[in-house]
Amino acid sequence: MDLTLIVVLVIALALFFDFTNGFHDTANAMATPIATGAITPKKAVALAAILNLVGAFLSTEVAKTISGGIINEDPTTGVQIMPEMIFAGLMGAVVWNVFTWLLGLPSSSSHALFGGLVGAAIVGAGFGAIDYGVLLSKVLLPALCAPLIAGVSAYMCTKLAYSITKRQNGASPKRGGFRYGQIFSSSLVALAHGTNDAQKTMGVITLTLVASGLQTAGTGPHLWVVATCAIAIALGTYTGGWRIIRTMGSGLTDVKPAQGFAAEVSTASAILTSSHLGFALSTTQVASGSVIGSGLGRKGAEVRWGTAGRIALGWLFTLPAAAIIGGLAAWLTHTGAVGVGIVAVLGVGMLLLFWYLSRKNHVGHEDTLSDIDNSGAAVNILSKKERRARAKAEAKAARKAAQEAMDKEPDNS
Amino acid sequence: MIDWSAFLIVALVSWVAALCIVTAYSFGVRLLAVARDEGSNTSASKLGAYLCFGVCGVIVLFGVVLIVPQLSRAILGA
């Protein structure tokens, strides 16, 4: 087996994973400001891309283990991570990421990466290769905590924002001012994303180079690795995963400026505190939880639990599904160079299929505005008084109809 | 194995931080709305509003310092 060929394949796939990570996670930062009209879709993805690029260059501490400790990577007692195994794991992560994008589901890219690697490691070295305690405390528990922390935070913030800005004398509260705040809060999320996620791919590439003897162990990533990873994630972000942005921005609940601001501040503060106090939470899960919490906090906003359920189901499946794909890929790569070739061809075929399916039901940046804002721009929104009058009239009509039906009933029997 | 205290700390700190920013910004928005009312002390309200936005700006800057490792090393020493 030619070592350099597989290394090149791993680097290419890692960069593509970085790209999918970018377009999968644009939604975390930019879905709500786009939905409220705080920033136009094109400008939003451009801003997020620039901040991701900057963030990727700023992060210097590259992950020391590929799997974050889930796989026992100790050089003496653990599994020896081969480039083939990383290749199979990345394939699982990429295929699952593109598949969830096709469904418009926000799912954690890191969980997909962990899943793919876990599957590849189990096939390569048996079930003993996995540290289940770490799996529980680093993947499963945060998956439950993240939406909870962020959701409660967003709920409280939304309530607070609306009660503070409420005017007693019936004057307009002018909550549109929250739109400007949204730009800053979402930029913070995008920057944090760039520093965290590009770093993972850098770690994967660097560890592959070390494993294949092309780089001395213990040295930092090469400049070209940093630069290509930064560009890949920024390009991915700029491409904009519009399907996921639509789900996050208007699929879960209709977002208004004050509510969106509360959600983003909650996301930003949860991500920053978790990454600095040592309980890493998934950005995607935090952001989704914030949007749901803010929807619960605003009077008159409804949360579409069907969509929330589909997202939760996606989270549940992310790790096992990526593991199964990664495992299958690892099983194929065991046959040597031919197997690696088959995996590469099959993987590219799957991605092309997903892409083809996505063209059938195209979702572009024009589909990402919240319905409330869209209809508000198109037609005149009724004032509170008018709405009340209309509801009263409707209720009256309904009562009348019910009364008539009751009167008629005896005739039928 | 499971560090519940870390979980609790993360939850509390992120709630407090988010509530602080939202409180300050909301008061800013409210004061700006008050400043547009007739017969109110416009300049005082506006000043208050910009003070509130300033507080938010400081908290956001602190967030940037936390995100950027070079800055947090230089300023926070960790």
- The pLDDT tens digits of the residues spanning A210-264 come to 877 778 777 778 888 889 999 999 999 988 788 888 888 888 888 888 899 999 9
Q: How many Å apart are CA A369 and CA A83, to the nearest integer?
A: 43
Q: How many Å apart are CA A201 and CA A22, to the nearest integer?
A: 11
A270 at B interface, C-beta within 8 A:
yes
B58 at A interface, C-beta within 8 A:
no
Q: How many Å apart are CA A144 and CA A149, to the nearest integer?
A: 9
Task: Please tell me what DSSP assigns to residue A174.
Answer: -
* Lookup: tokens for B14: 């992120």
B8 at A interface, C-beta within 8 A:
no
Q: What percent of chain A has pLDDT over 70?
A: 86
What confidence tens digit (pLDDT) does each residue in B14-46 have? 999 999 999 999 998 888 888 877 666 788 888
Query: How far away is chain B from the Cα of A155, in angstroms, using its nearest Cα?
Result: 10
Q: What pLDDT does residue A17 have?
A: 93
Interface test with B, best of A275, A279, A291 (most B CBs within 10 A): A279
Q: How many Å apart are CA A350 and CA A360, to the nearest integer?
A: 16
Interface test with A, best of B9, B29, B38 (most A CBs within 10 A): B29
Q: What angle do CA A281, A161, A28 make, to 5 degrees?
A: 30
C-alpha Rg value of chain B to the nearest Å: 18
Cβ contact, residue pair A195, B69, below 8 Å: yes
Q: Mean per-residue pLDDT for A201-209?
A: 86
* Lookup: tokens for A152: 């409660």
Which residue in the block uniquely carries the two structure tokens 């048996």?
A: A126
Q: What pLDDT does residue A267 have?
A: 92
Count of structural domains within chain B: 1
Cβ contact, residue pair B67, A195, below 8 Å: yes
Q: What pLDDT does residue A66 have?
A: 67
Of B56 and A380, the structure prediction assigns the larger pLDDT to: B56
Cβ contact, residue pair B69, A60, below 8 Å: yes
Mean pLDDT, chain A, whole residue set: 82
Helix (H) or strand (E) holding B76, with range, is helix B69-76
Tally Cβ neighbours within 10 Å of residue A44: 27
Chain B residue numbers touching A52 (CB-CB < 8 A): none
The answer to whether the CB of A276 falls within 8 A of the CB of A69 is no
Torsion of CA A270, A47, A242, A12, to 10 degrees: -90
Confidence of residue A1 (pLDDT cuts 50, 70, 90): very low
Q: What pLDDT does residue A408 have?
A: 64
Q: Mean per-residue pLDDT for A165-186?
A: 82
Confidence of residue A339 (pLDDT cuts 50, 70, 90): confident
To the nearest 10 degrees (0 to 180), the angle between helices A305-333 and A83-103 is 150
Of A72 and A333, the structure prediction assigns the larger pLDDT to: A333
Whether the pLDDT of residue A311 is over 70: the answer is yes
Q: What pLDDT does residue A167 have?
A: 80
Whether the pLDDT of residue A381 is over 50: the answer is no
Whether the pLDDT of residue A63 is over 80: the answer is no
Whether the pLDDT of residue A132 is over 60: the answer is yes
Q: Mean per-residue pLDDT for A333-342?
A: 82
Q: Mean per-residue pLDDT for A95-108?
A: 90
Interface test with B, best of A163, A272, A282 (most B CBs within 10 A): A272
Whether the pLDDT of residue B58 is over 80: the answer is yes
The answer to whether the CB of A337 falls within 8 A of the CB of A326 is no
* Lookup: tokens for B75: 């300023």
Q: What pLDDT does residue A95 have?
A: 93
A60 at B interface, C-beta within 8 A:
yes
Of A96 and A200, the structure prediction assigns the larger pLDDT to: A96
Q: List the single residue in A58, A60, A157 with the smallest CB-CB distance to B19.
A: A157
* Lookup: tokens for A71: 């796989």
Q: List the single residue in A149, A164, A185 with the smallest CB-CB distance to B26.
A: A164
Tally Cβ neighbours within 10 Å of residue B20: 16
Q: What pLDDT does residue A387 have?
A: 66
B78 at A interface, C-beta within 8 A:
no
Confidence of residue A379 (pLDDT cuts 50, 70, 90): very low
A144 at B interface, C-beta within 8 A:
no
Cβ contact, residue pair A265, B18, below 8 Å: yes
A184 at B interface, C-beta within 8 A:
yes
Query: How far away is chain B from the Cα of A85, in angstroms, using its nearest Cα?
Result: 28
Structural domain boundaries, residue B54: 4-76
Q: What pLDDT does residue A155 have?
A: 94
Chain B residue numbers touching A279 (CB-CB < 8 A): 3, 6-7, 9-10
